[in-house]
Structure 1
Amino acid sequence: MKNTLIITIALVVSSLFTSCDDTLDLQPISDIGEEEYYTSTEQINLAVVGIYNSLQGVMDTEWILTELRSDNTYMSPQNSETANIPYRQVDRFVLNSQNIYVEEYWSSLYRTVSLANNVITQIEIVEDEDLKSRYEAEARFLRAHAYFKLVRLWGGVFIVDQPISGQEAKTMDRSSESDVYDFIIEDLLFASENLPSEVDGSELGRLTSWAAKAELGKVYLTAEGGYEQEAIAQLSDVVNNSPYTYLSSYEDVFNISNEYNSEILFAVRYQSGSVGLGAPFANYFSPLQSDSYVVTGSGDELNVPTTSMSNAYNISDTRKDVSMADSWVGLNGQVNEFRYIKKYNSDFANVDDAGNDWPIIRYTDVMLLLAEAINENGGPTAEAISLLNTVRQRAGLTDYTSSEVGTYFDFKLALEEERKLEFAFENQRWFDLVRTGRALTVMNSHFATEDQYNNPDDPQFFTGPIEEYQLLLPIPQYEIDLNPSIAQNIGY
């Protein structure tokens, strides 16, 4: 049993939200929910825990709109075409504004925003100044985290910084991407200045200032406007001065008995044991009809590593066996040649109830982001190459030489490949491709060469080149219906 934040969630979230006004569960933005009223510091603390808990709902569909849209994975050709149309729409970039997962993910992110706003606007209830600053910082980080996902997937979105009525929400308009990034940066700067530098014991899993600085560094690297030096400052601080470090073994990072280790700055927490907080991903990603030979209760095979993903690993790369498998062994030792993700597998008793945390920010992520920021600020330096090689060394790979990655573009491509392998199936790949301007090139090559989309026996899966407008998702149709003045993203 994890003696951490997840236990607090299990004990208090149900009681906290059974008393909440039903409007909290209505569709944001159209019905984002007016604020709940808290009367004590303890209630504010429980409300903050509720924001953390809302991230489980976010993660439930995030992989569909990020990893499944990347060249890392696809929807299994074995899966029913008629029963899984929304997944295939996402996978093949033929989705529309009524896709259920577009609607669910948008709604889950704005639910996190709504819960954060309730805390921020009532923080004066807390009399202890240190606790007040900390709780507000946690809420503002989590709000910024939600908006960082929203702006990268939809572009300009609705900035909601306080509880509003459904009627007020229907009169709102989308803000520009630039304004959304300014809002995110403001929240993260506050969080970095007011979160504690470390947590332990029963608070393990709550945010630290280092996590805020890492997220801020990635935001600076992503936003347009030339923030590379600001990104370097934040990321260097984490790499050089924080208590975090990379583990010597890649496998140990994801070991369920070693969660929230020194490499994890932030993760979404899960707890098995039929307490309503288990992770479903082991079952989502494991092979169809595998009974319990891979994980308890078989799998849905909804998110399958591509052929190119499997082939991308060097034979000596120790990360592959931790992240995925090319086959599984079933009844009577029969080998079934079907690839599957294994990074989130563990022993658990009930379907969709694994205890594996989902890492959001890892120390190696910060290292490679710093290397990227340095390269974007003038090309690769000895420091940038060293950061890249340190990650490769743990994976059992040889170092790059300066002659191999000494130019801006050579380093950029090498770093892109390293991030693909280091953060395989962690929902990082799509955001990486968009941030570096490589999404169209990589995805169109993916559709032209990957077996899934080019099998003459399955012409229904053929997928042509995508266009730039498809890098963004459509605004959910229910928002347009409720407020027809809202501008839909171009192409939809």
Structure 2
Amino acid sequence: MINNKMKKILYTLCLMAAPLFFQACDNLDLSPIDYSGSENFWQNEAQVNSFMLGLHNHLRSQFVADAFKLGETRGETLKKGTNSCGSSSSYSNLIANEISESNPQTSNWNGFYGKLLQVNHMIEQLEGACTFLDDNSRNYYKGIAYGLRSYYYFWLYRTYGGVPLELTVKVTNGSISAPDLYLKRATAEATLQQIKDDVEASLTAFGQTNKTTPSYYFWSKSASLMLKAEIYLWSAKVKTDDPETPHTPGGVADLNIAKSALSEVIGKYSLESDFSKLFKEEGKGNNNEVILALYLDKDEYVNRNHFRTFFYHMNFAGNNQVDADGNDITDPLDLKGEGLLYNEWSESFVTSFDKKDLRRAATFYEYYSKGDGTPDNPGGKHGCAMLKYFGQNVDGTHYFDPDIILYRYADAILMMAEIENGLGGDCAKYINDIRQRAYGANYDAAVTYANGTYAENELAILKERDKEFVGEGKRWFDLLRMHDANKGPLVFSVEAAYLQGDETGAILDKATESYRVLWPIERSLMSNDPELEQTVNYPTATDSAK
């Protein structure tokens, strides 16, 4: 396990490595770059290692907020309208699934191509240069680089469908004309195949080295195995539309590939006995469940504003709040005014947790407005703070420094449940492994899951994932991947929704909003690159003019 000294070294190295990277912008975040200094860079393994650290720093900058934005906001577990402290959500359009070509809620492919440029640069150096590296070291770095490229493109694919596949660094050594940078979107099938090829290249390289990552703060073979399982589970179940070559679900064949990948992870890790420890300071770098995480140091204020949005703000005391027992509260988490509360989970979602489920108290601090009622006297307005993002108080100062967990063993267990369900096997044992940890001493026959129909199992797995991975960027993609009885996405199922107020429908209406399973790109992106077309089936400005 990683100790505090090593954490500090990691933090310092990431900051040192960051300046090695080059600014990029325009259509695919690819613009002419001055690489003159690079002739003095790729000269020894220490420099390669520094570049690798920089790639992890880029990964961290991409996902501190974006995993929540792309993977969580649209899943309708967040409160709509005014929150418990009187503020409005910073993602109100996404929470309402109101996205369009003129209002896509993200821009420039969400910044992924700037990160991919650097990964491509490392791959090119590892494949065609860096002669000072022995095969053992070369394969170690290749395992990381190909894994990261597959990971980034998998996020792009699940978000946009077929996307431009930029696999080389075109913009080296001086200027280049804009048309040389134009790149049309690959088909859905070609994009997914590239993702599969890259994760396989990663695993092949890791299999040819005896070097291992020093901690779960670095990409590893286990991370690539988790990614491969996730890719093939998606490939097995999700149809991705495309005007040329859509992806048709691969079914049993892909499920078996996913199962084989997970078989190399199952048993290698274990569930942390205390769920809350995963998200506390004493659990950082010190548990057997996390497979890949992004480390945040308490002095990195760059992350402060994102995490502040999940906690009550400084006017909390003036709102006359009480705790679940009706006791007056002012600053129960000792945040010292650091909260902003622009994002809050809905009462319907929070209260879907059984009170005996220990994850509820470990995930949320709940409170109610005074005077309107308490839990024993219904009517009080429900509010909550997100404890996974809490961080720590040190010497009278609050720091938002939680690890951002990308993969952990609970995900492997629940993916295996989903795979077994798809293969007609018994998924209950995997669900119950998670529930036993979730309920602890409260676990009994009443909360033990019994295997049901395919649709019943699928919904049960989704609901278990909902409770297990709150805030970890999973919910939206789970809704797109998991099925109802007709093998349709649960995003169109009322049973999968946590209805708020007088709502009665599914998250998306299948008849009128099915195109919104993917995201649009902005008009300016297409204007700057005539090769680009809008995401399939999206209404466009041209359509509106007809």
1:356-399 CA distance string (max 9 Å, x none): 1011111010011011111112x232xx3211111111111445
The whole-number CA distance in structure 2 between the counterparts of 1:428 and 1:311 is 19
Bigger Rg, which one: 2
The whole-number CA distance in structure 1 between the counterparts of 2:16 and 2:223 is 29
Farther-moved stretch of structure 1 (123-132 vs 355-364): 123-132
**Using a 3 Å threshold, how does the CA distance of structure 1 residues 130 and 406 change in structure 2: closer, same or farther?**
same
Amino acid in structure 2 at the alignment position of 1:90? L
In the alignment, what sits opposite 2:264?
Answer: 237
Shift of 1:251: 1.4
1:142-172 CA distance string (max 9 Å, x none): 1111111110011111111111237256421
In the alignment, what sits opposite 1:272?
Answer: 298
In the alignment, what sits opposite 2:538?
Answer: 491
In the alignment, what sits opposite 1:68?
Answer: 73
Task: Give SS of 1:312's match.
Answer: coil
The whole-number CA distance in structure 2 between the counterparts of 1:452 and 1:268 is 39
Identity of aligned residues (%): 20
**Using a 3 Å threshold, how does the CA distance of structure 1 residues 297 and 287 change in structure 2: closer, same or farther?**
same
Shift of 1:281: 4.1
1:281-318 CA distance string (max 9 Å, x none): 43121123357654354322232111221121112100
1:211-290 residue pairs with structure 2 within 5 A?
211-223=223-235, 224-226=249-251, 227-240=254-267, 242=268, 244-260=269-285, 261-273=287-299, 275=300, 278=303, 280-289=305-314
The whole-number CA distance in structure 2 between the counterparts of 1:272 and 1:283 is 14
Farther-moved stretch of structure 1 (26-35 vs 253-262): 26-35
Equivalent of 1:473 in 519, 525, 535:
519
Backbone CA RMSD of aligned residues: 3.4
**Using a 3 Å threshold, how does the CA distance of structure 1 residues 14 and 421 change in structure 2: closer, same or farther?**
closer
The whole-number CA distance in structure 1 between the counterparts of 2:503 and 2:47 is 52
The answer to whether the aligner puts 1:180 opposite 2:191 as a matched pair is yes
Equivalent of 2:113 in 97, 110, 115:
110
Amino acid in structure 1 at the alignment position of 2:154? F
Asked whether the 8 Å contact 1:33–1:114 carries over to 2, the reply is no
The whole-number CA distance in structure 2 between the counterparts of 1:17 and 1:232 is 37
Amino acid in structure 2 at the alignment position of 1:117? N
Gaps of 5+ in 2: 236-248, 317-330, 375-379, 484-488, 540-546
In the alignment, what sits opposite 1:459?
Answer: none
Equivalent of 1:451 in 498, 501, 514:
501
TM-score (norm 1): 0.85
The whole-number CA distance in structure 2 between the counterparts of 1:304 and 1:89 is 14
In the alignment, what sits opposite 1:96?
Answer: 100
Shift of 1:173: 0.6
The whole-number CA distance in structure 1 between the counterparts of 2:436 and 2:192 is 35
In the alignment, what sits opposite 1:25?
Answer: 24
**Using a 3 Å threshold, how does the CA distance of structure 1 residues 248 and 398 change in structure 2: closer, same or farther?**
same
The answer to whether the aligner puts 1:370 opposite 2:416 as a matched pair is yes
**Using a 3 Å threshold, how does the CA distance of structure 1 residues 30 and 110 change in structure 2: closer, same or farther?**
closer
Gaps of 5+ in 1: 455-462
The whole-number CA distance in structure 1 between the counterparts of 2:222 and 2:508 is 43
The answer to whether the aligner puts 1:208 opposite 2:220 as a matched pair is yes
Amino acid in structure 1 at the alignment position of 2:79? Y
Equivalent of 2:434 in 391, 399, 404:
391
Shift of 1:428: 0.6
Shift of 1:180: 1.4
1:33-74 CA distance string (max 9 Å, x none): 658533222222111111111123222233123211102223
Shift of 1:421: 0.7
The whole-number CA distance in structure 1 between the counterparts of 2:107 and 2:397 is 25
TM-score (norm 2): 0.77
Asked whether the 8 Å contact 1:89–1:95 carries over to 2, the reply is yes
